[in-house]
Amino acid sequence: MHLFDVDIPGKVTFKESDYLTAGNEPTVFEMEDGWKCGLGICFDLRFPELALAYAKAGCNLLIYPSAFTSATGEKYFELLQRARAVDTQSFVVTCAPALNTEHTFLVYGHSTVTRPDGTILSRIDGNQEEMLLADLEMNMVDMERRSIPTCKSKIGKNYLIKEN
């Protein structure tokens, strides 16, 4: 839904909007085992509003296929995943391509699984092709949401900002 249009002097300039059209609605799907999933792509990870909308829709797993640049990945990729997990009290899974030094666009290929409390469950560094597997315990989402019920906030009622 959000396109990566950035210009970081001396590091990276990229304008996805030259090649792609942004989505216009969130994507939610349910897996066979009852997990409700919200899907974002790469730059969507930077937008907590989307992740919170997924949590309000009952999603307990957020999935972000991502190709963060090397310039932004080291600084932000894990931080954003942990933030979205804590924001939504959901599992956050990112899958990224492995680094290919022959390409001019160098990706920060750190596929990761983050628990609802923001701790990293599993990670691979992405310097070579490999598969990341992790056992996700659905009760961790329910336990976190019952313990600290932040997903029940009254956004829109208590946080309404009025313009002057």
Per-residue pLDDT of the chain (164 residues; tens, 9 = 90+): 776 767 777 777 778 777 877 778 889 999 988 899 999 988 899 889 999 999 999 999 999 998 877 777 788 889 999 999 999 999 999 998 877 778 777 777 789 999 999 999 999 887 778 888 899 998 999 999 999 888 666 555 444 444 54
Does residue 50 lie within any of the structural domains? yes
Q: Are 46 and 66 in contact (CB under 8 A)?
A: no
Of 159, 131, 137, 151, residue with least CA distance to 56: 151
Question: Distance (Å, rounded) from C-alpha 75 to C-alpha 58?
Answer: 30
- The neighbouring-strand residues paired with 6 are 14
b or e along 130-141 (b: 16 or more beta carbons within 10 Å of the residue's beta carbon)? eebeeebeeebb
Global confidence as pTM: 0.83
Query: Residue 112 is part of which domain span?
Result: 5-152
Q: What is the CATH number of the domain that holds 13?
A: 3.60.110.10
Does residue 163 lie within any of the structural domains? no
